């Protein structure tokens, strides 16, 4: 052991906060982690770009906790999301770009500015008018020309489809009724069927994409989030599949050796079991 290194480490060791509930305590912890003099080697290597994937992962883990109504996990995952904000702010502060106080000021002033019905004398009839005012204020805030569709690259494709539809709707370029959207869904499904007969993978991909896009618009017209709907179906399938494998094992069956009809029978049995468990 290099005793000199050991004693140097002790000399720069950080003192943890005496209490952890204050915002300043968290600031101090993050600053200590990114302090070149005795900070964490991993934290010191991070940049805004290297942290991007963690921001995405932590946000999705928070969404999972919310959808599971897991309050304990929500508290923890909110902390992880806050950690990402604090890390980015500290990196920016070290580069003399901005501080966490600047971040707080920015969002605070934005919320006051975009809620004149709360912080001023503007009257609104309900949530829909609030959203309309929000968009009007956003447009006034823009000082330069922007793209019509300017969504984050990492946003799920279904979520982008939903946002594209919402954006188009604001300019009255949208289906008027749910029935019209459903008619478009059946039309696109027929085009997928026709594409499948060509064996042209490029055309098949194109038509499946069109179908998914229109299905997302159908969800929007019912005020449903297509991304959430798909996540729900994904979870439902995984739950049923896991239960089916457990059921096969409890019956002494080798799942891989079963015929497709036998597997389908197990699947239907599981659907009934899970329905009765509700």
Within a domain: residue 119?
no
What span, in angstroms and rounded, lies between the C-alpha atoms of 5 and 255?
58
- pLDDT band at residue 144, thresholds of 50, 70 and 90? low
State the pTM of this model.
Answer: 0.67
Q: Are 7 and 108 contained in the same domain?
A: yes
CATH of the domain at 157: 1.10.287.1080
Q: What is the pLDDT of residue 148?
A: 78
pLDDT, residue 11, reads 44
Q: How many domains does the chain have?
A: 3
**Does residue 6 register a pLDDT over 50?**
no
Please enumerate in sequence order all residues whose Cβ is within 8 A of that of 55, keeping only pairs 6 or more positions apart, or say none. 81, 84, 88
Same domain as 79, residue 9: yes
pLDDT at 5 over 80: no
Share of the chain above pLDDT 70, in %: 93
Residue 80 lies in a domain: yes
Residue where a domain stops, chosen among 209, 224, 239:
224
Q: Mean pLDDT throughout 27-43?
A: 94
Tell me, what's the pLDDT at 9? 46
pLDDT (0 to 100) of residue 7: 43
- Which residue did the predictor score with more confidence, 278 or 54? 54
- 9 and 104 belong to one structural domain: yes
**Residue 127, in any domain of the structure:** no
- Taking 80 as the threshold, does the pLDDT of residue 136 lie above it? yes
Mean pLDDT of 115-141: 86
Provide the residue range defining the domain that includes 108: 3-113
Overall average pLDDT of the 211-231 stretch: 95
Cβ-Cβ contacts under 8 Å for 264 (sequence gap 6 or more): none
Q: Which of 6, 11, 50, 46 is nearest to 30 (CA)?
A: 46
Q: What is the pLDDT of residues 226-247, one digit of tens each?
A: 999 999 999 999 999 999 999 9
Three-state SS for 166?
helix
Q: Is 126 a domain residue?
A: no
Average pLDDT of the segment spanning 183-209? 96
223: left (phi over 0), alpha (psi -120 to 50) or beta: left
Per the domain annotation, does 76 fall within a domain?
yes
Mean pLDDT of the chain: 90
Are 239 and 217 part of one and the same domain? no
């Amino acid at each position: 052991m290099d005793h000199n290194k050991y004693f140097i480490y002790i000399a720069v060791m950080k003192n943890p906060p005496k209490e952890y509930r204050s915002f300043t305590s968290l600031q101090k912890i993050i600053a200590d982690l990114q302090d070149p003099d005795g900070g964490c080697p991993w934290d010191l290597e991070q940049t805004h770009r290297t942290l991007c994937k963690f921001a995405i992962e932590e946000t999705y883990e928070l969404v999972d906790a919310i959808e599971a109504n897991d309050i304990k996990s929500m508290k923890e995952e909110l902390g992880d999301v806050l950690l990402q904000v604090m890390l980015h702010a500290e990196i920016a502060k070290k580069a003399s770009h901005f501080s966490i106080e600047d971040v707080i000021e920015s969002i605070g002033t934005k919320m006051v500015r975009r809620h004149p019905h709360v912080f001023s004398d503007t009257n609104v009839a309900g949530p829909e008018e609030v959203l309309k005012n929000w968009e009007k204020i956003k447009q006034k805030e823009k000082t330069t020309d922007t793209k019509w569709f300017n969504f984050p690259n990492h946003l799920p494709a279904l979520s982008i489809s939903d946002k594209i539809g919402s954006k188009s709707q604001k300019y009255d370029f949208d289906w008027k009724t749910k029935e019209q959207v459903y008619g478009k869904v059946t039309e696109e499904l027929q085009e997928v069927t026709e594409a499948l007969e060509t064996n042209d993978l490029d055309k098949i991909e194109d038509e499946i994409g069109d179908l998914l896009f229109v299905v997302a618009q159908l969800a929007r017209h019912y005020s449903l989030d297509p991304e959430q709907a798909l996540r729900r179906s994904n979870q439902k399938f995984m739950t049923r599949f896991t239960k089916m494998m457990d059921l096969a094992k409890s019956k002494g069956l080798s799942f891989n050796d079963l015929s497709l009809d036998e597997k389908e029978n197990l699947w239907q049995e599981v659907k009934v079991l899970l329905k009765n468990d509700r």
